[in-house]
Amino acid sequence: MYLEFEVRRVLCKNCGKVKRERLDFLADNPFYTKRFAFYVGRRCRKETIQDVARELRLDWDTVKTLEKQYMQAQLAKAGSPGPKVIGVDEISVRKGHTYRIVVSDLVRGRPIWFGGEDRSETSMAMFYEHLGARKSQGIRLAVMDMWKPFRNAAAEHAPQAAVLFDKFHVMRHLGEALDKVRKAEYARLAGQDRSFIKGQKYTLLSRQENLSEQGRKNLKKLLAANKRLNTAYLLKESFGQLWDYRREAWARRFFENWRDSLKWQRLGPYEKFAEMIDRHWDGIAAYCKPENKVSLGFVEGLNNKIRVIQRRAYGLRDEEYLRLKILTCMLPEL
């Protein structure tokens, strides 16, 4: 369907130039209406640009341009953020350890900043400069992993904010320690004892409730066959209770008991993990305070959503487009 109309041209008496009337219903690409651009944008939230272009018989670049206008309109409607609780994480945008930082508003449940040149303190400071000194002073809690540059930037630009280390990153370190124990046992054993361990990495690292029936059988067989892995697995499963305590003293007592149970177990990776927790205790114990009880799963869920966006696009080279996709992925449709 085509719409044909005349555009009025006006001679401005002030500047003496001829100007054309502004038509608010047109998209940035004047061959399409804003309503159609928003329709294309909504379709691109669930489909690839190529699929939408093929169905609507449009050029690939045209669909991308219309979608970018739609996402810019989403951000304009959402307004400028003034977060009280932020979540900080980094994502890999291409091979070769190329990272960008993503900051989310954990109260509103949406990403609010994507940028930086790496995951350095300088790049993290760019977020606080973007937010401004007044809004940075309004941040009361910063959830992040144990990466030191992130902590340093928060201490400098938002010193009033409490730092809370993300539970999922902490448990990931424990999972890596368990995997090192698995590898050490595989190297130590031979024959039938080794066969129980081979190919069971993800069975061992997954939570028991997430395993299939066959996975549970394999896990039971593995733990029955290897006492050291059984001990390491039970210690990993029990450590998650640390985030259930409402008082720091109780949480500390639990951690000390957990660390004492490592004695004589010959679990070197676990001992190193316990030392790391002890060094970063303040950022973990902060979760015991009632005002810091925030949803820690949002950042991890956002990371999964970003990976889907990147996989659907087979690697995005246009970083501005990737920025818009990330910042609008949690916003409502227009």
Q: What's the confidence (pLDDT) of residue 178?
A: 92
| Range with the poorest average pLDDT among 9-18, 238-247, 293-302 | 293-302
Q: Please give the structure tokens belonging to residue 107.
A: 């109260």
Does residue 315 carry a pLDDT above 60? no
Q: Are 34 and 26 in contact (CB under 8 A)?
A: yes
**pTM value?**
0.82
Q: Are 120 and 109 in contact (CB under 8 A)?
A: no
CA 217-220-225 angle, 5° bins: 125
Q: What's the confidence (pLDDT) of residue 327?
A: 93
Burial of 300 (0-12, 13-18, 19+ CB in 10 A): middle
Q: What number of CA atoms fall less than 13 Å from residue 91's CA on the CB side?
A: 26
| Range with the poorest average pLDDT among 2-16, 126-140, 146-160, 164-178 | 2-16
CA 177-283-294 angle, 5° bins: 100
Does residue 42 carry a pLDDT above 70? yes
CA 304-172-104 angle, 5° bins: 45
Domain range annotation of the chain: 9-78, 85-166+296-328, 167-281
DSSP letters, 228-256, are HHHHHHHHHHHHGGGGG-SSHHHHHHHHH
Stretch 214-219: mean pLDDT: 84
Q: Which CATH superfamily is domain 85-166+296-328 in?
A: Ribonuclease H-like superfamily/Ribonuclease H (3.30.420.10)
Stretch 242-252: mean pLDDT: 91
Sign for the CA dihedral angle at 240, 243, 245, 250 comes to: positive
Beta bridge partners of 133: none
DSSP letters, 155-202, are HHH-TTSEEEE-HHHHHHHHHHHHHHHHHHHHHH--THHHHTTTT-HH
Rg (alpha carbons) of the chain, rounded to whole number: 26
Residue 313 pLDDT class (50, 70, 90 cuts): low
